[in-house]
């Protein structure tokens, strides 16, 4: 087999190709109790192909025209879709075109990390109606609860979201949040290991959905970023720590214990006793430690965007080291998973991500020359807010998107 390097831009997807990128496709079911699944499939078909007519929806989903008429009538009554006008330029009676109602539903996503909290409110089209970021190191549960309550009230007061149409709140945070020992970690931060996360949001009567931050970032990238042209990829999230989220054939893959993609815990160094984990170097914590060792202390995440002179050069030295250490894990991913791409995202400035991506490309090309296929490494479309946006998708996914779980419920 010839060796190749492939990219998500290697081929263009039509609207009908795109339907294959979701977990159950856009095929309806004629099972007696398949109504919920058919509603979800129809919503997804409209979202991906709008403006679209009922006849076209029936063709895409395989449902009968009478069934599609009933489904779209219900979706219109529920305010989830809208009529955008009649199609012009065709023979006969012009058909009415349908589209998603951006105000039909809303969702809140919150990303809790060791150096910040980010909260976004999305509309039903994925538009960001509100975004709040607070730089806070090692936030305790009561601080997160206060942040959420305070900013949810601000969103309510702004009127940008219909609070009665919020599908729920999605939460993205690293696994082992209170256990991993990072620099400056408070002694009582371990409370997170036994804390019931849902208690933070109990006062707001919202459904809560929880996901690992890297997996949430991959979901966000899949729905709103380069997932438009890539069905199989690894999302590498560089934050206070390091994580990875896998999407394979359009499915988020979490593994047997829900810990797939945890490349940050891979040991580096030949001596086992002195070995450290990959995320001790390849992370914001690792970058700040590197800069501090070179005499550059008290640099914030915001300050990384304005690096100049000797500090900027030292940051580029770190990208070389990070690219060297990331290369081997990514070669294994290429051999084992055969992804279409590897996306690098997180809170690093775009300039540093681009430097890391360029160095990784060279390393993978040279050190992976024997591999039959090498996926390109690219800067993620969704970087800084990917985890929060992916978290906000979780309530939408539970209530409105087609899934195997939803179909199984209809068959039960």
What is the per-residue pLDDT across 329-352, written as a single tens digit (0 to 9) for each? 999 999 999 999 999 999 999 999
When the pLDDT of each residue in the chain is averaged and rounded to a whole number, the result is 86
Write the pLDDT tens digit of every residue in 132-153.
Answer: 999 998 999 999 999 999 999 9
The answer to whether 81 and 101 have CB atoms below 8 angstroms apart is yes
DSSP 3-state assignment of 396? helix
The pLDDT of residue 276: 86
pTM of the model: 0.84
- Residue partners of 120: CB distance under 8 A and separation at least 6: 108, 109, 110, 128, 130, 131, 132, 385, 388, 389, 392
The pLDDT of residue 275: 58
Please, which contacts does 72-79 make with residues 24 or more away whose CB atoms are closer than 8 Å?
Answer: 72/42, 72/98, 74/39, 75/39, 75/42, 75/43, 75/46, 78/104, 79/103, 79/104, 79/165
Write the pLDDT tens digit of every residue in 347-400.
Answer: 999 999 999 999 999 999 999 999 999 999 999 998 789 999 999 999 999 999
Per-residue pLDDT of the chain (412 residues; tens, 9 = 90+): 333 343 433 333 222 232 333 344 555 555 444 568 899 999 989 998 999 999 999 999 999 999 999 999 999 999 999 999 998 876 778 899 999 999 999 999 999 998 899 999 999 999 999 999 999 989 999 999 999 999 999 999 999 999 999 999 999 999 888 787 776 788 888 889 888 888 889 889 999 999 999 999 999 999 888 987 899 999 999 998 999 999 999 889 988 988 899 999 999 876 555 558 999 999 999 999 999 999 998 888 888 888 888 889 999 999 999 999 999 999 999 999 999 999 999 999 999 999 999 999 999 999 999 999 999 999 999 878 999 999 999 999 999 987 655 444 444 4
Query: In whole angstroms, what is the distance from residue 327 CA to residue 346 CA?
Result: 18
- Residue partners of 161: CB distance under 8 A and separation at least 6: 106, 121, 123, 129, 130, 155
- Residue partners of 73: CB distance under 8 A and separation at least 6: none
Query: In whole angstroms, what is the distance from residue 383 CA to residue 350 CA?
Result: 9
Cα distances from 259 to residues 7, 252, 347, in angstroms, run: 26, 12, 22
The continuous run of DSSP H or E covering 373 comes out as strand 373-374
**Which phi and psi (to 5°) does residue 3 adopt?**
-85, 150
Write the pLDDT tens digit of every residue in 10-31.
Answer: 333 222 232 333 344 555 555 4
On the 0-12 / 13-18 / 19+ scale of CB atoms within 10 A, 14 is exposed
DSSP for 332-361, please give it: HHHHHH--SEEEEEESS-HHHHHHHHHHHH
Q: Which of 100, 102, 83 is nearest to 42 (CA)?
A: 100
Mind listing the domains of the chain with CATH numbers?
4-101 (1.10.10.10), 106-218+387-399 (3.30.420.40), 229-381 (3.30.420.40)
Query: In whole angstroms, what is the distance from residue 18 CA to residue 13 CA?
Result: 6
DSSP 3-state assignment of 11? coil
């Amino acid at each position: 087999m010839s060796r190749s390097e492939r990219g998500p831009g290697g081929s263009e997807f039509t609207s009908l190709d795109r339907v294959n990128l979701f977990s159950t496709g856009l095929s309806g079911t004629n099972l007696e109790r398949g109504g919920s699944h058919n509603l979800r499939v129809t919503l997804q078909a409209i979202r991906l192909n709008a403006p679209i007519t009922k006849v076209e929806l029936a063709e895409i989903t395989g449902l009968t025209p009478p069934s599609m008429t009933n489904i779209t009538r219900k979706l219109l009554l529920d305010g989830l879709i809208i009529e955008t006008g009649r199609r012009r330029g065709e023979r006969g009676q012009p058909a009415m075109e349908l589209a998603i109602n951006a105000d039909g539903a809303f969702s809140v996503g919150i990303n809790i990390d060791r150096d910040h909290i980010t909260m976004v409110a999305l509309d039903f089209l994925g538009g960001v109606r509100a975004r709040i970021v607070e730089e806070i190191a090692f936030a305790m549960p009561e601080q997160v609860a206060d942040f959420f309550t305070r900013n949810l009230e601000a969103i309510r007061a702004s009127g940008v979201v219909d609070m009665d149409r919020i599908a729920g709140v999605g939460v993205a945070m690293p696994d082992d949040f209170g256990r991993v020992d990072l620099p400056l970690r408070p002694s009582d931060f371990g409370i997170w290991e036994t804390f019931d996360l849902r208690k933070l949001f109990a006062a707001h009567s919202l459904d809560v959905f929880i996901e690992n931050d890297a997996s949430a970032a991959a979901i966000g990238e899949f729905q709103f970023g380069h997932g438009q042209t890539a069905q199989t990829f690894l999302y590498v999230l560089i934050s206070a720590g390091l994580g990875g989220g896998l999407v394979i054939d359009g499915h988020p893959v979490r593994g047997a214990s829900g810990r797939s993609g945890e490349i940050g815990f891979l040991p580096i160094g030949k001596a086992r006793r002195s070995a450290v984990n990959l995320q001790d170097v390849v992370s914001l914590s690792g970058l700040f430690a590197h800069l501090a060792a070179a005499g550059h202390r008290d640099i914030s995440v915001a300050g990384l965007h304005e690096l100049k002179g000797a500090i900027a050069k030292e940051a580029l030295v770190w990208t070389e080291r990070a690219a060297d250490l990331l290369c081997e894990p990514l070669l294994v991913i290429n051999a084992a998973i055969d992804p279409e791409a590897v996306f690098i995202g997180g809170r690093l400035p775009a300039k540093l991500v681009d430097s890391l991506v360029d160095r990784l490309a060279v390393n993978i090309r040279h050190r992976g020359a024997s591999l039959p296929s090498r996926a390109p490494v690219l800067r993620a479309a969704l970087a800084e807010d990917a985890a929060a946006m992916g978290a906000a998708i979780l309530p939408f996914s539970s209530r409105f998107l087609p899934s195997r779980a939803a179909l199984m419920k209809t068959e039960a």
